[in-house]
Every structure is written in C-alpha cells, then in structure tokens.
Amino acid sequence: MFLSRSPLALAAAFSAALTVAVPQAARADYPPITDPTVAGSYLAARLAGSERDTDAAVAYLRALLKMDPRNEEVMERAFFAMLVDGDVDDSVPLAERMVKLDRSHRIARLVLATRAIKKGDYQRARTNLSLSVRGPIGDLTATLLAAWTMLGSGNAKAGVDMIDRLQGPDWYAAFKDLNAGLILDAAGMKKEAGKRLEAAMKFDPSAVRSVDAYGRWASRNAGAATAIEAYQGFEKLLPRHPLIQAAVADIKEGKQLPPLVKTPQEGAAEVLYGLGAALARQGGEDLALVYLQLALWLYPDHPLAGLTLADLYEQLKQPDKAIQVYQKVPEASPLKRNAEVQLAINLDANEKFDDARKHLQALIKTDPKDLDAIVALAGIERGRKMFADCVSTYDKAIALVPNPQRNSWTLFYFRGICNERSKNWAAAEADLKKALELFPDQPHVLNYLGYSWVDQGVNLDQGLDMIRKAVALRPDDGYIVDSLGWAYFRLGRYEDAVNELERAVELKPQDPVINDHLGDAYWKVGRKLEATFQWNHARDLKPEPEDMAKIAKKLQDGLDAAETEPPVKKAEQQNGG
C-alpha cells in the first residue's frame, strides 16, 4: 500500500519520542541479573537499548520495575520494551497502569483496545479507541479498528459508515476502501464489497492484499476469468508472488476462494499489519514493530505479518530475531520456501556461511528450479568473494530464464561482476552489455562497465560518458561519484578528480576506499598534508587487508609515481576512444 512520507514521518517522530532505542524484550531463558541496583540497572538498560541488545535491555528493565515499581519512566520504557518484542500479555498490566496516569496515552489505549477485540468485548474496544490521542496515524488506526468492532457487534454497515466519514490525507483512500470492502465481504454484502475492493485494487495495483482481496471476491461473485485477470495484472508488476501463484492455481482447479478476512479479530490484525508494513517502509520502525506484534498477537497465522516483521528485523541488523520469525512460518504456507530462503540469508548475515550454504543447497536439491534459492546462494557466494562459484551458480539461475526481461538485469549484472573478479573480462563485458540491453541507462551497470573500460584504457570516451550519465542519474550515490573521480584520476585529470572525490567523501564519509582515493588525488595536486590526513582516516576506517598494506606504505613513503598505476596514455585514449 502507498503512504506519503509526511504523515509517516510524523508517526516515526511520535514513536521515537516515546521509545528508548527500540528495546525488544527479554526471553524467559535470559540469564537472571544478580544483585541488581537501581542506578546500575538503569544505566545498563540504557546502554543495552542503545546497542539494540534487547534481551539484556528488557531484563534490566524488569529488574528495575521490581525495585522501583512506581517509577513512571521505567514503567513506560518497560511497557514499550515488552510490547515491541511481542510480550503483549506482559505489557497489558502496564498499559492499565499507564492510562491511570495519562488517560489518553495512545499506545496504551491501543493495547487495551486490541485485548478487548481479542476477547470479543467490542464496546470496551471502542471506548479505549475513543480515548486515545489522535493524529494522522492515530485517527486512521482508531477508525479502522472501531469499524471492525462494529462488524463484531452485528452492524457492518455502521462500521463502513464510520470509515467513510473519516477525513484525512489522500493516502487514507487505499486503507479506507480495502477495509470497507473486507468488512462488507465478511458480512456477505456482495455487491457493495466488490465495488470497494475493486477501488482499493485500482488505487494501488501493486498492493498484494488489495489484489488478493478483490481476486478472492471475484472468484465467488464475478467468475474465474475476472479473478485470474486481476491476479495477472499484479503478476505483470511483481512476478512470482507465492500467495498470488497459490490463489491462481486454486482458481484454475475450480475452487472459489474464501474472503481474505472472516472475523473482527482477523480484520483488526489486517489493519495493524497494513499500517505496520507501511510504517516499516517509510522509516517508522519503532511504531511498525508495535503494530506488527499486535497484529500477530491477534492473529498468529496472518500470512504476511510475520514475514514483514522478520524483514524489519533484517533492516535493523538483527538476523537472530529474523531467523526466529522465519522458523515459525507454517509448513503449509505458500510463503514457507521464501521464509527458508530468507532464513539462509540471515544465517550468512550472522556469520554462519556454511550453515546458510547448506540450507540453500538443500532447498535447491528439493526443487532445482527454485530461482529465488539459487539467486540467494549466488548472492552469499559473491558476498564471500567466491567468484568462480558464484559464476557457476548464476549460470544455473540464468538457465531458468530463457527469455529474460527487464527485471532479469540483475542476474547478468552480478554474474558480470563475478566474471570480472574471476579475471574473465570477455565474459564479464558480455554480461554487463546484456544487463544494459535489458535495462538501458541502469546507473549501476553504466558505472561498472564505464569504469572498467576507462580503467583498462579502452573505449574511453564512451566509458567516461557512461560514468557521467550514472552520476547524473544517481547524483547522491557516493560510490558512483567516486567512480567518476577515480576515472579522472586514471586519466591524469587530477584537479577534476579532486572535485569529484571531495563530493564522494561528503556523500560517504566513512568509506575507506573513497577516502584513500581522495588522498591520492590530493597528493597529485600537491596538497600533501591533506593527502596524509585522508590516508590516516582511510586507515582508521579499517579497509581490506590488501588496501591497508598499500595505505601504510603511502603513509610511510608518500605516493610514488613508480608504485602507482600510471594514467592512461594519450595513445591509449586515441585507440580506445
């Protein structure tokens, strides 16, 4: 679903103001804290939270609550810490205490409303929602949840009327139509449901839930052909989505698909999932975690909430948490293989490459045509600099795509990189050209091929034009700007190199290679003190071992022209140009 940045930025700011470094929560098996003190536990919780050691953060916050149960700040921190990690049951008593201190506390009221929905106490849920602090996200959340409680109270029409009366930004529209349609579909109001679900699908044809909701409705009310047409429209935008493929397969077998949502509890979970997923995409990670955990608490079998939560953990560089979520995906789910592939990627991120590789190889053995698993294996091999291996693996992936389209450009681009690193430039060049054929003006491919030509002293004019075009397309990409600066350096255009490399360092100040390049350029234009500063900085940023040795030598002896690759000669320019 689509949300504009401005309201979600407000939501992100709101959640950031309430939370402390996104503590997730303690596990029951986390080692007990011995001899805690108030001051020590408070400082330890702050430190653990800032470092995203969430188990430790919650353990210390729990200890603090026992020692100082009336401390409002500790109570609020512990409440969010438990909630963000999915310990909703433990957070409820704290929510009850917090609304006594702040009657309109938004998240506490949301938790209490969610608990009431889970229990089927719909009037209590509406009361809690009506008392919460409002704002763009709060208004939409409260209205949609209240509308689903009206279905539970036997008055679906009143729920839809609540949604329709809600005024707000344009991005409300998709949520309003989808939830109104789902409520009407669950209530058996076929004609009205179809209109609203079709409107939601047309608002954003790439929203899988909107397309699936309409396709399911159409399979029961408009015929298999209409349903399949809706799914095929999505397939053109985002091919091979497992839920869409499973739905189409069922319809082709003559099945009519049930409504996407059947109960108020599932509907409320859908609201929380939809908003949580949108918040996660737009930078509101804290509030997204809250919404997604509440969605799973209401409806543990929600097909996408778990994967979205795992994806968010990946964004937050918490592969252990992501793995735990992926492991919970049911075997029968169409998304199970996707979860297994992502699990392997997170094993690799957690420095368990051998386990990740074996996991993917086992998946591929059971289905040699699993393109996602093959591409994932090639990716982790490329990341581990196993370039010969990743060429072979990309070969298998490309063999499964006999008629590559635009979205296949990455297969050739990455195989090109692996071929180039394997010293097979002829094959690399062919791959990069194929990637550009599939996706003309793709900036990363333009950059890689253009720089490779300049670095080799061939096709210089064309290569430099490619890099310039890449920079024009991605002016804020420090790596691409660095390529332009280093190309100028290789051509002996040192002043131009300095100008571009200074901008690259501004864009990527913590990259050791770019800082090293700028040092070399400074040396060439006579700014030797600044060159030494840049090399020192590059060294401190922990470059690759081979680069570290070169930097150390330059710091000791300076940049000697005899030890540096010379700029491309005039004759080479003429031959290559």
pLDDT digits (tens, 9 = 90+) for 387-426: 999 999 999 999 999 999 999 999 999 999 999 999 999 9
In the 3-class helix/strand/coil scheme, how is 419-464 assigned residue by residue?
HHHCCCHHHHHHHHHHHHHHCCCCHHHHHHHHHHHHHHCCCHHHHH
For residues 317, 318, 324, 330, the Cα torsion angle rounded to the nearest 10 degrees is -20
In the predicted structure, residue 5 carries a pLDDT above the cut 60 = no
Calpha distance 248→481 (Å, rounded): 45
pLDDT for the residue numbered 40? 65
Calpha distance 107→91 (Å, rounded): 11
Q: Please report, as a single letter, which amino acid is at residue 246.
A: A
Could you please report the per-residue DSSP string of 319-335? HHHHHHHHHTS-TTSTT
Calpha distance 455→452 (Å, rounded): 5
pLDDT for the residue numbered 566? 52
Q: 569: helix, coil or strand?
A: coil
Asked, for residue 392, whether it belongs to a domain, the answer is yes
Asked, for residue 119, whether it belongs to a domain, the answer is no
Q: 271: closest CA among 284, 282, 261?
A: 261
Residue 209 near residue 196, CB atoms below 8 Å: no
pLDDT for the residue numbered 72? 80
* pLDDT tens per residue across span 160-190: 999 999 999 999 999 999 999 999 999 999 9
pLDDT average, residue stretch 497-515: 97
Same domain, residue pair 492 and 429: no
Q: What CATH number corresponds to the domain at position 561?
A: 1.25.40.10
For 329-366, b where at least 16 C-beta lie within 10 A, e where not — what string? Answer: beeebbbebbbbbbbbbbbbbeebbeebbebbeebbee
Confidence band for 80, pLDDT divided at 50, 70 and 90: confident
Same domain, residue pair 485 and 566: yes
Instruction: Give the count of beta carbons closer than 10 Å to the beta carbon of residue 107.
Output: 25
In the predicted structure, residue 481 carries a pLDDT above the cut 50 = yes
**Last residue of a domain, which of 425, 440, 455?**
440
* pLDDT tens per residue across span 274-330: 999 999 988 888 899 999 999 999 999 998 999 999 999 999 999 999 999 999 999
Same domain, residue pair 428 and 480: no
Q: Tokens 């919970």 label which residue?
A: 328
Residue 359 near residue 343, CB atoms below 8 Å: yes
Cα dist. 172→167, 203, 427, 475 in Å? Answer: 8, 11, 50, 33
Structure tokens at 497: 């190199």
Residue 534 near residue 518, CB atoms below 8 Å: yes
pLDDT for the residue numbered 81? 84
Q: 115: closest CA among 102, 105, 128, 106?
A: 128
pLDDT for the residue numbered 37? 64
In the predicted structure, residue 567 carries a pLDDT above the cut 60 = no
In the predicted structure, residue 260 carries a pLDDT above the cut 70 = yes
Greatest pairwise CA separation for the chain in angstroms: 84
Instruction: Using alpha carbons only, give the angle 558, 561, 563 rounded to the nearest 5 degrees.
Output: 80
Q: Please report, as a single letter, which amino acid is at residue 406.
A: R
Q: 409: closest CA among 431, 389, 392?
A: 431
Asked, for residue 415, whether it belongs to a domain, the answer is yes
Asked, for residue 354, whether it belongs to a domain, the answer is yes
Asked, for residue 308, whether it belongs to a domain, the answer is no
Cα dist. 218→1, 128, 182, 259 in Å? Answer: 20, 36, 13, 10
Same domain, residue pair 433 and 522: no
Structure tokens at 11: 């939501």
Q: Please report, as a single letter, which amino acid is at residue 98.
A: M
pLDDT for the residue numbered 282? 85
Asked, for residue 103, whether it belongs to a domain, the answer is no
Domain that holds residue 477: 471-577
Please indicate whether residue 202 or residue 44 has the higher confidence score (pLDDT).
Answer: 202
pLDDT for the residue numbered 231? 97
Same domain, residue pair 501 and 543: yes
**Last residue of a domain, which of 396, 420, 440?**
440
Confidence band for 574, pLDDT divided at 50, 70 and 90: very low
Same domain, residue pair 496 and 424: no
Same domain, residue pair 503 and 425: no
Asked, for residue 546, whether it belongs to a domain, the answer is yes
Q: Please report, as a single letter, which amino acid is at residue 519.
A: G
Residue 319 near residue 349, CB atoms below 8 Å: yes
Same domain, residue pair 395 and 488: no
Helices (H), 508-542: 512-524, 528-540
In the predicted structure, residue 27 carries a pLDDT above the cut 60 = no
Number of structural domains (the chain) is 2
Same domain, residue pair 426 and 494: no
For residues 484, 489, 493, 496, the Cα torsion angle rounded to the nearest 10 degrees is 50
Residue 30 near residue 56, CB atoms below 8 Å: yes
pLDDT for the residue numbered 303? 87
Q: Please report, as a single letter, which amino acid is at residue 270.
A: E
Residue 457 near residue 576, CB atoms below 8 Å: yes
pLDDT average, residue stretch 6-29: 33
In the predicted structure, residue 250 carries a pLDDT above the cut 50 = yes
Please indicate whether residue 61 or residue 223 has the higher confidence score (pLDDT).
Answer: 223
For residues 257, 258, 260, 266, the Cα torsion angle rounded to the nearest 10 degrees is -150
Rg (CA), the chain: 28
Structure tokens at 121: 């106490």
Helices (H), 255-408: 264-281, 285-298, 305-315, 319-327, 336-349, 353-366, 371-383, 387-399
Asked, for residue 76, whether it belongs to a domain, the answer is no
Structure tokens at 214: 């309409």
Same domain, residue pair 502 and 403: no
pLDDT average, residue stretch 57-66: 73
* pTM for the model: 0.83
Query: Mean pLDDT score of the chain, rounded to an integer?
Result: 88
In the predicted structure, residue 384 carries a pLDDT above the cut 70 = yes
Calpha distance 176→179 (Å, rounded): 5
* pLDDT tens per residue across span 184-240: 999 999 999 999 999 999 999 999 999 999 999 999 999 999 999 999 999 999 988
Calpha distance 457→577 (Å, rounded): 9
pLDDT for the residue numbered 297? 97
Same domain, residue pair 490 and 574: yes
Please indicate whether residue 51 or residue 424 has the higher confidence score (pLDDT).
Answer: 424
Same domain, residue pair 525 and 436: no
